[in-house]
Amino acid sequence: PQALTSSGEEGSQKTVESKPVVVVEVDSDNEQ
C-alpha cells in the first residue's frame, strides 16, 4: 500500500509484488 502512494510509475510494479506478499502473509497469520 505504501509503495502505491510513494511512487506512481514504480508503484505499479511494486504494488503487484507488494500486494501478493502482504496478502499471503496476512492470510497465513490469520489462518494459523
Please state, in angstroms and rounded to a whole number, the distance separating the CA atoms of residues 24 and 13: 17
State residue 21's pLDDT score.
56
State residue 10's pLDDT score.
59
What's at 28, amino acid-wise?
S
- Give residue-wise pLDDT tens across range 1-32: 555 555 556 555 555 555 555 555 556 666 65
Domain residue ranges of the chain, discontinuous segments joined by +: 2-31
State residue 2's pLDDT score.
55
State residue 1's pLDDT score.
52
Nine-digit cell string for 9: 510509475
